[in-house]
Structure 1
Amino acid sequence: MSRKYFFFDIDGTLSTGLTTMMPDSAVKCLDLLRQAGHFTAIATGRLQASAKTVADRYGFTNIVADGGWSVTIDGKILEMQSLPADECIRFIDWLRENDIPWAVSPENEKLCVTSDKNYLPLAPENYFPVLWDPRYDSHALDHLYKVYFRCAVGEEASMQSGSLPLVRYNPDVVFVEPKEKQRGIRRVQEMYGIPDEDIVVFGDGMNDLCMFGQGWLSVAMGNARPELKEIADYITTDVDKDGLWNACRHFGWI
C-alpha cells in the first residue's frame, strides 16, 4: 500500500464535541496508522497554539491550523498568515460604534484581549482566558489571528464584516476565522509532491466543506452535518462510536 497522508479535523472528528478528548479506539487507530508509515496531521480552524496543545497530547507533529492559514511540519511553524489587519480594525471600529462586544487574539497564544468589558460574560468558558484592558488600542495592530464578537443566530448578515470570513462558535459568539483548510493541505501536498489519490481528509462540520470535493478521498463522520455527508466519498460512524477506527479498517489502512 502506498503511503497515505491523513488530515483530521479536531472537534467532532478526532474528539467528541469540543472536549478535545479522543476515544480510545481513535488513539489506537492513529498509533497503527503511524506504525504503518502513514503521515498524520491535524486540519483545524483553531489557532496554531491551541491546535498544538491537542497535537502534543496525541502525538501529532504536523498541523494545518488557523483555517488553513498556518502550516506546522515536524513541530516547526513553516508559515502563519495574519488576518487582514486593516479590515479587521475597520470592523472592530464598527462593532464599537454599535456597542457590540468584541475581543481579539493578536498573537499566537491562547489569550483574548479586549477593551470592552461587556465581552467578559460572553467569553466561552472552555475557550481562551480574556484579558480586559480599557486602554487597549486595536488601531495599533499590524497582525492578528482571531476576532470574536457578540452575534445572535440569524444576525450575521447585519454585521458589517465585509469580506472577512465568519464562523459561528456558539449561539452568542461568532469568530472571524479563515475557512480554507484546503489551502494549508495544498501547501503540504506541494512540499511532498503528494498525488491527490494519496490524501485522505476526515471532517464533520461546515468548515470542513472546503476539504471535500478537492480530488482527495473524503470521509465524513456519522455525526457530520448533512451538507458534508452529501459530498463525502465515504460516511463512517460517529466519532464516539469508533468512527475513525471503522473507516480505517474499512479501507484496509490498519
Structure 2
Amino acid sequence: MSTTPHRQALILGASRGLGLVLAEELTRRGWRVIATTRQHGGELQARADASQGEMRVESLEMTSVEQLAALRDRLGTCQLDLLLVNAAIDRGNLPIHKVPTEMFTEVMITNVLSPLRAIEELRELVVPDGTIAVMSSDQGSVSLNTEDGYELYKASKAALNQLMRSYATRHADDGRTKLLIDPGHNRTRLGGPDAPLDPKESIPAVVDVLEAQAGAPGLQFLDRHGNNVPW
C-alpha cells in the first residue's frame, strides 16, 4: 500500500450500477475515490459533492484512446492503491450467427479491448504493491458455460479473462495484485430487474475481497466470496 494517509482508488465506469455502489462503499471505508463517468452530473456527481472531498469525478469515454491519454495527464503523479475497471455492455440474447458485425465489434471494443488499454495506460500510477482489478463474470468461464444464451456477452468476458491473463504474464514481476472479480448476477441495468442480488449487499463483499487480496501478487479469478472461479 502507499504511504499516503488515505488509500486511493480509481474506478473506471462508476456513473451507475455496480460502479456507483463500489465508489460509495470504498468512500464509506475511508478510501479516497476518483470515479469516472461519460457524462457530467447525475447521481455520481451528487455523491461526490456530498463526500467532503473524499470522492471526485473525472470525465472519461473509455473506448476513446484520446480521452484515456487525457485522463492520464490530468492524474499526473497521483498514486493509486487500487485501479478497478468496471465497464461492460450487453446487446441482447442473440445466437452468435445472428449477431451483426457492428454489434460484435461494439461489444468487444467496450468489454475487452478498452479495459486492457485503460490498464496499460494507467498501470504506472498504481503503487508497486497495489491492486489492478477488472469486473468480470462467471459468464466468462468456459468450463461453466453449460447453459445456452447470451453468447456474445459470454465470449466478451472470456476474451477479457484471457487478455487479463496475457497482461499478468507480461507483467509477472511487477509485484502488483491482479484480480478478475465475479460480482454475481446483480439487479442493474445490465443484470436486469429480476437478478437475484442487490448491489448494496453484494458490493460490500466484493470490497472485502479487494481489501483481503491486497498485496498478493499474481492473477486470480475470484467471486464475491473470495472463492476461485474456474477458467
* Bin for the TM-score computed over the shorter chain: 0.3 to 0.5
Larger radius of gyration: 1
